Amino acid sequence: MMRCGHLWETKHGQPGIHYNYCMKDAHARVLAPALDARYRQLARRIQQLPPSGSRPLTVSGKVAGWITAKATSHIQGLPGVDIEPEAVHITAAPRRRMALNAVLDGLAHCLRDTGCLRGWRDELLDVIGEGRRLGAIERAAVRPLGLLTKAVHLNAWSPDGRLWVARRSLSKTTDPGMWDTLVGGLVGAAETLDLALVRESYEEAGLSSADLETRSPLRTLLRMHRRLPEGYQVEDVLVSDCVLARSVSPKNLDGEVSDIRLVDLEELWALIEAGEFTREAELVILEGLQKRFREGPIAA
């Protein structure tokens, strides 16, 4: 009987794992339902209510987030901010000649100066309310306000069916030192999903557009709701899959990754069981494995 780590073989000229072939192995027959069970369990764990004391947040009259009690206490009296017992409202402040983005910028700086933010990124993300883009705000401010973000991930496979994974730098403010998908990052302000994935793929793994030519379209796995020390994570998790050519060797360019490794199924499952991946990465990888077991390998 083959070891599970040896199941990732070429079959009929197709790189990757083949579900029917895999099922001949007893270990793989056990692993498939284990993947499903772990995915369902994780999907439940990342659906949490907002932090205690949070209030709904509206921006320009659209429901947009959940602001923490701490953040609410620090923005009282700011231009364009109206605090009510049941909700907090942010709008442009025409009497102060402040457009909405200026109000949002002032709010973010106030939260930074009062210690509500974890760092400052000098990156803008869209503020989305009821499906509409309303403005843009500093990335570090989105969690205290419970604003919706969109994260794009890439499951990058080798032709023989192994998976490229990346370890987050110890300097990262979130999940330092944990394993992650090869590519994963937030979509910037006024940026399309596909452009964000291409940008992140270059910054985090040195991949070019040509390296990603055969990737699958981005698909949304779910919307995550998770309490964090700094606030509330409301995030759409999207993923694309691709097979990287044998000649491609990913290399981090932005300093946010400390190690990149190619792992087989056996090592990958061991890392998952040990809790070595971020929750988002584990979710994306588990779904990717389920998809490959169900549909077969991606053509290179």
Residue 25 scores a pLDDT above 70? no
Strands 132-138 and 124-129: antiparallel
| pLDDT value at residue 20 | 37
Q: Tens digit of pLDDT for each residue in 163-195?
A: 999 999 999 888 999 999 999 999 999 999 999
pLDDT score for 27: 54
The whole model's pTM is what? 0.87
CATH class held by domain 4-47+149-295: alpha beta
Q: Confidence band (pLDDT; 50, 70, 90) for 16?
A: very low
Say what the pLDDT of residue 145 is.
Answer: 98
- DSSP strands (E only) in 79-218: 81-83, 88-90, 124-129, 132-138, 148-157, 163-168, 179-181, 183-186
Q: 113-139: per-residue pLDDT in tens?
A: 999 998 899 999 999 999 999 999 999
Q: Which CATH number is associated with domain 55-145?
A: 3.30.750.160
What would the pLDDT profile of 205-253 be if each residue is shown by its tens digit?
A: 999 999 999 999 999 999 999 999 999 999 999 999 999 999 999 999 9
Q: Mean pLDDT over residues 15-32, rounded? A: 49
Sequence spans of domains, the chain: 4-47+149-295, 55-145
- Please give the Cα distance from 253 to 206 (Å, whole number): 6
Q: What is the dihedral of CA 209, 213, 215, 216, to 10 degrees?
A: 120
Are 267 and 250 contacting, i.e. CB atoms less than 8 angstroms apart?
Answer: no
Strand bridging mode 55-59 / 88-90: parallel
